[in-house]
Structure 1
């Protein structure tokens, strides 16, 4: 039986129970006071070996064999699991269980002074570590606060730059939208002008068709395919071709204006989106730590509902503006082409109208000349008819006179034929009377021949007179149609001149400090 014991500060390795590492203070659980059942130790109280600070006296047969070196503590309080070891490299003196229960509870003064010094040193080191920790915490707080202010400033600066970009593009979109609206108004104006010009072409077309219808009322030889009729048909072809070109131009203008309205819709939607984004970004820019309504939104930084990047964001607006500017440029080209087409159509119809009028005036002049010639010839025919009639009357009178002389001569012969006997002599008087009768018969026959010729000539003159009078009526009818029913409604050109639409050029400027794609 060995009597063994040790102080609480002795650094031995104890036999049997191995203390838990990382525990620096004795256990505070209730001790187990039991009476030993050993007869030799009856009446001696023992304590649980776990209560290391309470001494105990007992008898035990044991053989002490330390399992560790005496210069190495069984418990390493400055291991990586020790909190104070993380604070400072100085070692805090631990309090360990003795390997054996101490027989008495007395310490040496040196141990007492060493324990006090150790506690003071540990207190100073812990206070210094705490002060350093507090200084580090305050420095970290100031650093993070400064970083938070810097991050907030940088975020505000970036939001302000985005707001400036949005305002710039919004102004560009507004200018382009205003230009597009004016161009749509120009296209609509030129559409109305084209429609008006198309309706105006119906008036000369109706007139030329009426002219052709009226000229079909010409009679006889005057129902001819003259230069006037050819020019009238050419005028109909010109007007119908012009109407076809105007209808095609109306279709092109309508299609272009549909594209312009689509581009305007894209611009308005882009302006509306940018206005909404500018309002939201301005509201976000004005949010401060003192603003009301701010709160936590857990996980909001992981929510990504973006659908574009700065390059695509800029490209989208640039494409809208370029598309609108291209539409405006195409509209300008179409407006110029429409103005040129309307001017050309107006000039063509006006020129053909003048060609018809010139041909009609020439035709009227020809008809007047023909009428005057017919009237002149008719006057001659009438005079000739009068002369022939007088000649016929003269011939008839001459024949009557010749017949009277013939009667005289024949009566003389008949009277002398009643002479008696030898008195019926064929004397010179008898011969002369016979010759006179023969001469009178020949003269009367010649006169009757001339009379028949004159009568035939008179009939021919009368037929010619009738033909000339009929031709004169035809010419009068043609003159009446061409001058009163055709030329009278063509003296004034009833087609109004088209109004030109102004063509304005639109320039597109690239923004500064923005991504150009």
Structure 2
């Protein structure tokens, strides 16, 4: 017996003698109620419960100021357990010793016996036995009927699958031949596209080479315009070939997809027909039948029967439509290739003429720049000589300035008293200093202008040298490198795919 109603169970069991739960009433009030009950009952000799040798009476235990004390609870005069509200109030039940067991109430004991003797499980076992026997009687009859019906359905399905399998085989053979024919045309067009890569790479190479020219020559001249036109024409022809090739490859993909679908459908139908044949040969006595967990679930791509009929017809019809469209697409590619090759060859001739004209102009300009550079170098030498002469003249003026200023200083410091007058010599010396200062200022101005002109000539020399180097690099690119690259330009027959 391990479970009892909450009402009959002690809320808290305490094993310490004299320890009690805090009561709802004060100890004084509880003591008065106990005394009143004792006065109403006849006097009986006190029954002293035996305790261990080490245990003492609750009354002998000192009462602490903070503890609550209640008298020792004992069984009543008739030996029955006291289940009064006092026991519930104190949170304890009467003491249990080794001679008497009065732990549980009579109502708890009776409830435990009722639970043990409950006949519910016996009744349930009788019901289960009846239901099981009835189910076994019905099961075998239903299963035999289902097996017979499903055998007829499987046989009819096998006939339908075989009929569609023959149709699919015929369509598969036709689309396979069409794929081979279209592949021949596709390889021819791809060969023409590969030849077109050469003029495209030549034009790109020329444009990239010309982009390496120095900054003064990075101009959009006639040669660059013709190269851009050539690139655009190459792009246009390539776009035309690519569109045609895309159509062929798209049709090839459609043909292969149709071929793949029809072959896949034929494989599915062959496997399905073999599966149905195996299923028709199986019975309950076959040695190969096994438990297959999860076999009752529908497959991931399971579809209704109406869709299967529609899918079979659609697969064959799509395959035939793709074959017919592919046959119509195989048309004349020769005209496209010949026209594109002729256009490219004519544009290449115009580009070569523009490059030759640009080379001639650059060569003439480079000659003029070299002549101008020689003149500039001569003027720089002359200007440096002039600057040297001006600097010498300024240095010579320093001696004259020192002489005039020394004379003035001597006259100002060494003429005593009344001799220090503003006479004509003194005024002449002052005028001399002024003239020398004006002359030096003018010479310094001329020197500054000469240095400025020399610096400008030096800058012009740098610009000329840079331009000459730029023109030489441009000539190297246009005449040598571009000319060598363009010498490998394919002919019109090669561009036409021959």
TM-score, normalised with respect to structure 1: 0.37
Structure with bigger RCO (C-alpha 8 Å, 6+ apart): 2
Please state which structure has a larger fraction of its residues in helix: 2
| Greater Rg over alpha carbons, structure | 1
TM-score, scaled relative to structure 2? 0.39
